[in-house]
Amino acid sequence: MVWVLRFRFCFVLLFVLVLVLAFSFVSISCFGASSEDAFSAISDAEDRIVVCYRAVAEADRAGANVSSLSGVLNEAGWLLSRAKLAYSQGDFGSAVAYANECRSMLDGFVDEADGLRRDAEAAAHWDFMVNFVGSAVGAICIVAGGYALWVFLKRREK
């Protein structure tokens, strides 16, 4: 009976040893991100931030209120800087996570900026039309009213 317990103990010990050896040969990249993955994720996030920044700059040039977009862009930039810091410290898993969070935060951002730009351009067009056409119509009304008043006063004089 004692030899059966020793046999079971040896069998369990051997089984644990085989498992430890098997997992020691498994690449660490299965459990974390590699430096290439992190570099690629950071590069993609940088590219997306540049595209979004250009869209915000165009919307701002058109006269749109881009304060909310600037806040989102600042937060995305902060996440990108965290990703770069994690990458420089060798924490590739965190670098990928921060870069992916940065990219996901900017999903639909360009469309929103383009929408604000189009709205601002349309508002500027209508402002121009109201000012220009309104001024022209006002000037014509003043001239026509003045002429009508002159004709009225001229007839009253006779």
Q: What is the mean pLDDT of each run of 10 residues along the chain (158 residues)?
A: 59 59 47 82 95 93 89 94 94 94 93 88 72 80 87 82
**Torsion sign (Cα): 11, 12, 15, 16:** negative
DSSP 120-140: HHHHHHHHHHHHHHHHHHHHH
| Identity of residue 130 | V
Domain map (residue ranges) of the chain: 31-118
How many C-beta atoms lie closer than 10 Å to residue 64's C-beta?
22
In whole angstroms, give the CA distance from residue 102 to residue 78. Answer: 9
Task: Find the DSSP H helices in the chain.
Answer: 2-24, 35-61, 67-88, 92-105, 109-157
CA atoms within 13 A of residue 65's CA, in its CB half-sphere: 2
Residues in Cβ contact with 124 at an 8 Å cutoff, skipping those fewer than 6 apart: 62, 63
The whole model's pTM is what? 0.62
∠ CA 110-48-121, nearest 5°, is 25
